[in-house]
Structures are given as structure tokens and as C-alpha cells.
Amino acid sequence: MTRDQEESLLAHAVHFTNQQIPRSGEVRQLWSSSVLSSFSALMSSVPLVLCNGPGTCVPLCATGLLLGVLGLKRVLIIYVESICCVKTLSLSGKILYYFSDYFFVQWASLRDTYPKAVYLGRLG
């Protein structure tokens, strides 16, 4: 989202912090800088990751899972698949379908193919 949208949303929150995590660029960069920054962000904040699909969310979710596996923090992973995904999942969706606590799809055809998915209609 843009900085203006972010500020508008945050203006309604009671308590918030804003932490930037480096965007995944090249593959080697993805796992080192993103995972370390994700680790620090998740340890110091609310234990929930809400994402909607870009590849950059995968290392963040992986870090959340790792924290749980290591017994450091239970992180809830919520994934919302893009409205563009009508019949097939995105690559991020295909990976995170198995690892998310809640996996939302926006079209009924996907719910039929992926029974673990939650369908509440379109978000937009």
C-alpha cells in the first residue's frame, strides 16, 4: 500500500509500530536479510502475519513458522489469496496453503479444489 494509505489506516489503530522489512530481491538476499529482519519484527510485535500473496511474504511466514517450531513464539499465519486467482492458486498460495492457520480464497471454485480454504466471498 502507499504511505498515505498506511498512515490513514494507522491513524485508526489504538497502538501500533511500523517496521520495515527489506523486500526480497535476488534469491540470496531473500533468505538472509528478509528472514533476519522478519525474526526481529515478529519477536517484538503482535504474533500474527496477515498477507495477500506477493513472494515477499513467504520468508516472513517461514520465519513465523520457525519461531513456532523453536518454541519461541506462536505466530498465527493468515493468508488471503488474490482476487485474480479464480481457478488456480498463485505460487505463494500453493506453498502457504499447507502452512497457514487460515487460508482465504475469494472465489467459490477454489474452495471446491482446496477444502482447507475459507471462502467468505470477494473482499473487493
Partner 1 sequence: MFMSVTFNKACLIDKMKTVFVTVGTTSFDDLIGSVTSDESVKALIGRGYTDMVLQVGRGSVPDPDRCPGLSLQVFHYKDSIAEDMRNSDLVISHAGAGSCLEALRANKALLVVVNDKLMDNHQLELAKQLQDDSHLIYCTCSTLSQTLRDMDLSALTTYVPGQPQNFANFLDKAVGLV
- Residues within the interface to partner 1 (CB under 8 A): 48, 50, 76, 78, 80, 82-88, 90, 101-102, 104, 106-107, 118, 120-124
Nearer Cβ to partner 1, position 50 or 72? 50
Residue with cell 479444489: 113
Nearer Cβ to partner 1, position 29 or 48? 48
Which run of H or E residues covers position 103?
Answer: strand 102-105
Nearer Cβ to partner 1, position 32 or 54? 54
Q: Calculate the CA 107 to chain-centre distance.
A: 19
Burial 64-97, CB ≥16 within 10 A → b, else e? bebbeeeeeeebebbbbbbeebeeebbebbebbb
Nearer Cβ to partner 1, position 31 or 119? 119
Q: Give the whole-angstrom CA distance, residue 115 versus residue 41.
A: 32
